[in-house]
Each structure stands twice: as structure tokens, then as C-alpha cells.
């Protein structure tokens, strides 16, 4: 479910980028865009505006759904909450108390 939702989310993001780049620039920033093109009529501008709004709403919806799905998918656990194992992989009991250190030896005299 999460993977399908993520793929849909990425596709919506790519379509949203494409639709935004198709729109006519009205600010004239840096002198690029807005100089005519295939979609200059008012009807096409309305269609692009509505498409952008729909894709933006779908993007927000999939973002929220992804957050919900990923939040319920697993509970965080701490290694401090899990009890230590008393047997190893072969089934033998592990020592629970560390062995006492060996007595220090006297330094060797020369």
C-alpha cells in the first residue's frame, strides 16, 4: 500500500511540475517566458489553473496519507525495553555474571 501511494505521489509531483512550467509567466522575471506560445488563450489559462489546483490538492492528500501510513506501519522499540537473551544460538546458557578478573602478576625484575 505504501509503495503504491508513493508511486502515485511521485507521478502527481511530476505532472504538477509540468503543468506549472506550461503556464504563462506574468511577472516577466529575467525576461524569459510569457512571450506567446501554444497556450495563450484565456480558456487554456483557466484549464491550466484548474489543473494546477487539482494536482496541488492531490499532492497534499497523498502527502497526508503517506504520513499516516508510515506512522502506523511500525512502533518504535528500544533495545533497553527488550530483555537480554540468556542462551546463545546453539542453546547453551550464557553466563549472567561477568567472570572476575585475574590477579595481577608482579612485574618482572631485570
Between residues 36 and 27, the one the model is more confident about? 27
Determine contact, residues 45/24, Cβ cutoff 8 Å: yes
3-state SS class at 9: helix
Tell me the Ramachandran region of residue 36: left when phi exceeds 0, alpha when psi lies from -120 to 50, beta otherwise.
left
Question: Residues 22-31: pLDDT tens digits?
Answer: 887 776 555 5
Q: Using the predicted structure, report yes or no on whether residue 108 has a pLDDT greater than 80.
A: no
HSE on the CB side for 53, CA within 13 Å? 6
Instruction: Write down the pLDDT at residue 80.
Output: 73
For residue 8, pLDDT over 80 is answered with: yes
Predicted pLDDT of residue 1:
82
pLDDT, one tens digit per residue, over 80-90 is 776 666 666 77
Provide the pLDDT for residue 30. 53
Digit-coded pLDDT (tens) for 52-107 = 999 999 999 999 999 998 877 666 667 677 666 666 677 777 666 666 777 877 77
Amino acid at each position: 500500500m505504501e509503495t503504491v501511494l508513493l508511486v502515485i505521489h511521485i507521478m502527481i509531483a511530476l505532472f504538477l511540475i509540468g503543468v506549472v512550467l506550461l503556464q504563462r509567466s506574468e511577472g516577466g522575471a529575467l525576461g524569459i517566458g510569457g512571450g506567446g506560445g501554444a497556450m495563450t488563450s484565456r480558456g487554456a489559462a483557466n484549464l491550466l489553473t484548474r489543473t494546477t489546483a487539482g494536482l496541488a490538492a492531490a499532492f497534499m492528500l497523498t502527502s497526508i496519507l503517506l504520513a499516516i501510513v508510515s506512522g502506523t506501519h511500525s512502533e518504535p522499540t528500544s533495545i533497553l525495553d527488550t530483555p537480554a537473551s540468556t542462551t546463545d544460538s546453539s542453546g547453551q546458557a550464557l553466563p549472567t555474571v561477568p567472570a572476575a578478573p585475574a590477579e595481577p602478576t608482579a612485574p618482572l625484575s631485570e
